Amino acid sequence: MSDPMPQTLSELCEVLRPEHELLGARFGHLDKIAAMIPLSYVCPEEEEGAFNKKAALVDLSGLPTILQSGKTAVPFTEMTYAGNKLAVGQCAFEALLLGDGTLASISLLARSGDKEFVSWCVPVRAAVTFAWLQFLLRSAGKTGQPFQGLEIHDVSSKLLPLLLAGPSSSNVLSDYLGEQQLPTSGQTANLYLDKILCLVVALPAALAPSYLLLVPPVAARVLWRSLLSFQEVVPVGRLAAKAWAEDALPWLTWVSTKDQVIKSMSELHDAQVLRSGHDFIGARGLLSR
């Protein structure tokens, strides 16, 4: 059942399309994703209830993913992302500010290794997020290469993201684990799910219990069917998933536009995407308001 490795984000969005068609999905465009994605299935009411009563399974293909790696990844990431400074295996929602203190994005940032970070943002903010990080890296290189060896790559087509969310989600995943330990909220781990090695991100408390599963595309259909074999798992389209996420994370509406996003330091603190102190790019712009 394995398929060729997708080379583009559009190809990645096609990996699970046969599975969605079997389930009667309605396809369309959403959130500036160029490819067609499953918006809903035959019973929208069941989809909405899955987040509160069962376990919602969502194909998040098209979610922008950025990898920052190298010996200087830690100082660069802590300078650019304004949220909590992460230990290996931790994740958090963090503000990424432009030089004037306006928002480039609010990303889910995970420290996946000693010298490696992965981040995800909403599609509409992907271009400005990636361009800003690349600009900062190039600018630093012109002043003595303080971040020599750092690499920043768009890896959105390398792993297929699935969301499993709802009160039954932890029990479902625990059924795969054996001696492995499921990460708690705000933690990440590499786990075998049905003999498939995946990066499992237990999302921060506002969305708990929920998990982002980063799956090799060649094994995505196998794992999708395996998860749906549980009676408590319900396939859910992007429309219901977006409503659920925006209800739990009100700041998502801030970054759902290409327009300039201006928020105060207190608003960002209240949203829990900004750390105390001013040791990050954009702090001076925030203080000047």
Q: What is the pLDDT of residues 213-268, one digit of tens each?
A: 999 999 999 999 999 999 999 999 999 999 999 999 999 999 999 999 999 999 99
CATH assignment, 64-155: 3.30.70.1400
Amino acid at 58: V
- The per-residue pLDDT for 289 is 75
Name the architecture of domain 9-63+159-247.
Answer: 2-Layer Sandwich (3.30)
CA end-to-end span of the chain, whole Å? Answer: 56
- The per-residue pLDDT for 202 is 98
Question: In 10 A of CB 34, how many CB atoms?
Answer: 12
Q: At what angle do helices 238-248 and 44-53 cross, to 10 degrees?
A: 40
- Residues 76, 77, 81, 85, CA torsion sign: negative
SS3 of the chain: CCCCCCCCHHHHHHCCHHHHHHCCCEEECCCCCCCCEEEECCCHHHHHHHHHHCEEEEECCCCCEEEEECCCHHHHHHHHECCCCCCCCEEEEEEEECCCCCEEEEEEEEEEECCEEEEECCHHHHHHHHHHHHHHHHHHHCCCCCCCCCEEEECCCCCEEEEEECCCHHHHHHHHHCCCCCCCCCEEEEEEECCEEEEEEECCHHHCCEEEEEECHHHHHHHHHHHHCCCCEEECCHHHHHHHHHHHCHHHHCCCCCCCCCCCHHHHHHCCCCCCCCCCCCHHHHHCC
Least confident of 5-19, 141-155, 170-184, 251-265: 141-155
What are the sequence ranges of the domains in the chain? 9-63+159-247, 64-155
CB 41 within 8 A of CB 24: yes
Cis bond leading into 209, ω under 30°?
yes
Does pLDDT of 10 surpass 90?
no
Q: Which residues pair with 40 in a beta bridge?
A: 26
- The per-residue pLDDT for 30 is 87
CB 69 within 8 A of CB 116: yes
Q: At what angle do helices 73-80 and 126-141 cross, to 10 degrees?
A: 120
Cα 49–chain centre separation: 22
Question: What is the rounded distance in angstroms from the CA atom of residue 117 to the CA atom of residue 99?
Answer: 21
Q: What is the pLDDT of residues 46-101, one digit of tens each?
A: 998 999 999 999 999 999 999 999 999 999 999 999 999 999 999 999 999 999 99
Least confident of 29-33, 112-116, 213-217, 220-224: 29-33
- The per-residue pLDDT for 7 is 67
